Structure 1
């Protein structure tokens, strides 16, 4: 009984398809649809979006005065378009392609045909070169990406200068500070009377501690100061200007200013008190 009902149901479905004009696609048509589907899978449609910038490159570059700097621009799908560099300050065209279009020959465009990088090289940059530069592609209309260049000049400060007075037998603490450096100085050297200080000398008690960061500080410590420790001390960061001070190690003398354990004090506390009161009054 069940078999008979299934046969009747099958016959009914076939009749409905036949009356509605629906039928299974022929073999050739099925093969054609399959080929079209395979073609779409193997060769998807490619849309040419034109040149565009790879924005992973840094848009903020810090350079040191007189140290060659580079602004890098990565352009994808450039085609036959031209890349130019423009200075925003005066809208001056600096380079077109690999050619320099300014009389200032410090600016050069660098490009390796095997890469998508277009680099603006700036030799001997000065603080006046700070500002916005734009990497521009000659599409219609042009497209560009701005980059900001900051040219800084690190400043070295040697606390207590230009002359420092300390008592014989006390600890001499010379503190050298380096500011406005895009990166901590790789090295900081100390000299005494133009001779590099030997921290392993038989004299002993001489050491240096350097803390690197946005502001780098180097401490030269000389324990049990003696008369031979007097003289000219120079702190020389590898990426900043050197700074010098004169140290006087005193044996019972009484100059106007003395330093004990790295702390400066005035020999005349009453005068210091009057000075502090005067400064306070002026500030009111």
Structure 2
């Protein structure tokens, strides 16, 4: 029992010593922390981190270091990657004339870098000469807008149709520029059988180039740093002349003006002219008014639209005319035949036939006074020969002809319109009936007046 009692006393004593030692250690730590905090309050501290900044090349950069409770300590700026001391407190140490140091109230310290270069990109550290040293650092990012590398970029090209073409565009900048190709006019490009608006990348490859590829192309480089940049590359495709004629057969009547048309395509630009059937070149003199021939030429890219105007067509003007196009790669021509057609009539045959029937009915009356009065009313001047002549002329049916483009024939058009109205519209027949009734009323009125005069 005594032994057990000693053990209990020993354990109690051990427990008491452990607790007392723990309390003493805790009090020591607290005192140490309090002392450290009091000591920390006497040291400088950074009020805020140094921000990372991004500056376009050629602009000015500003790095700020804010230190509280600096007291007698000093601030220094250091280039981290090269371990170069830029400034110590109020003095600039580096020999770089673009670096300037300013401060405000012994608290804010500013590092100015004028006209930033790519070599200025990197980490910058603000240090305070405590023991141990205290520091903060920030990153200066220098971005560069894209630039076209002329020595590695294609210039204007002249190639033959059917060959393969490669256009190259190289650009540099930071970040790495994105390069694309597009047509200056905004049209689609036919690349490998597909029509696209934009081709990504530095290389534009065209297989079996054709005249449709002839255009100005833009190489555009961008990297998010304004401004984007572009280069214009003109692609010219050579090919011999090609010719097309809208109408190879034209018709005209004596005294009419007619225009012959011819369309050509060529590059280099072709020399175009007109010749007669005998091979004589047609020369247009625009300085002389009323000249027989007038040549008109309109250019649209590699296309040329030629027109030959022949004024007051005469008997000797009918025949063949040749359109010719030449360039350094070849020559082509085409023929247009000008045929004579009958001049169109200007009197409506249906209307004239109706008037002739009325005339015949009136002419059957034996009374000469009635005939004269009727003829004067119908003809206006009593000249029967005019009506007879017109009637004879209108009885001829006009031939079936092909009129040249641009010619407007009043008679032919009026005849067709009149016939269509007779067939499709009953209004015209009503109009004819009204005219007939009016003529019959006048006829009976004239008969009554004539009888009254004879009875007297």
Normalised to the residue count of structure 2, the TM-score between the two structures is 0.29
More helix by share: 2
Larger Rg: 2
Normalised to the residue count of structure 1, the TM-score between the two structures is 0.44
Q: Which has the higher contact order (CA 8 A, sep 6+)?
A: 1
